[in-house]
Amino acid sequence: MSTLEKEKEKESAVRLNYVEIEGVTLLELLEGVSSHASKDKSLRTLNAVQLEGAGGDLIARATDRYRLIEGAVRYREGDLEVSLISLEDIKKVITLLKAHKAHLINISRMGDVLSVSALGDAVTFSLVDGNYPPMQELLEKGEGEPVAVTSMAFNPALMADYAKIAGKGAAIKVYFNGDNKPMRVRITGDKITWKALLMPMRYVD
């Protein structure tokens, strides 16, 4: 392969792993999704947020084994292959975004390194190496017709995060899929399309 061909291949890879999005929108997406990531650092792949961009949709996912959430938002340009970002690094990105809510944010990936930048400010970090749970498959299985159940137990503290994501005074919808099956939670957002599942708890008298 010639030097020119190698340079073209490198440029193509950069374009593939580059996304431009509004700061305020990315902040809302990451703050919402990161609330569902596991806080247990020993669970490296769950103590993280999965991010990918394709076809004009930037999608973020997270799970702590008791619930999972996916948020999708339209972005300006580019594509980003599936990237797993530690919760610690997500918090650094959120700090950057709070200072650049009114600006365009660039997300670029080179190999296993991701950089998020705006107006000369940037955070750069290595991605988490690991296999993330097949969340899309789980979310799709929860899309069936809701059914009636006599009772359902769940941790109200986990439900409280949905209220924060939806915003003050906004409603959320909960659909029941049957005994001992995940509850489907729908959150309405102006820019972000949310999907979420919450696992029922075992009730002990």
Model pLDDT for residues 87-138, shown as the tens digit of each residue: 999 999 999 999 999 999 999 999 999 999 999 999 999 999 998 888 777 7
pLDDT higher than 70, residue 26:
yes
Across all residues in the chain, what is the average pLDDT?
85
pLDDT higher than 50, residue 29:
yes
Q: What is the model's pLDDT at position 11?
A: 47
Is 205 a domain residue?
no
Count Cβ atoms below 10 Å from residue 201 Cβ, excluding itself.
12
Q: What is the model's pLDDT at position 111?
A: 92
Is 204 a domain residue?
no
Is 26 a domain residue?
yes
Is 114 a domain residue?
yes
pLDDT higher than 50, residue 65:
yes
Is 203 a domain residue?
no
Q: Are 97 and 63 in contact (CB under 8 A)?
A: no
How far, CA to CA in Å, does 46 sit from each of 80, 156, 166?
Answer: 20, 21, 23
pLDDT higher than 50, residue 85:
yes
Is 179 a domain residue?
yes
Alpha carbon dihedral 84, 88, 91, 95, in 10-degree steps, equals -120
Is 69 a domain residue?
yes
The pTM is what?
0.84
Is 133 a domain residue?
yes
Q: What is the model's pLDDT at position 12?
A: 44
Tell me the pLDDT tens digit for each residue of 185-205.
888 877 899 999 888 766 555
Q: What is the model's pLDDT at position 149?
A: 74
Tell me the pLDDT tens digit for each residue of 163-181.
888 887 788 888 887 777 7
What is the count of structural domains for the chain? 1
Q: What is the CATH number of the domain that holds 99?
A: 3.10.150.10
Range of the domain at 157: 3-198
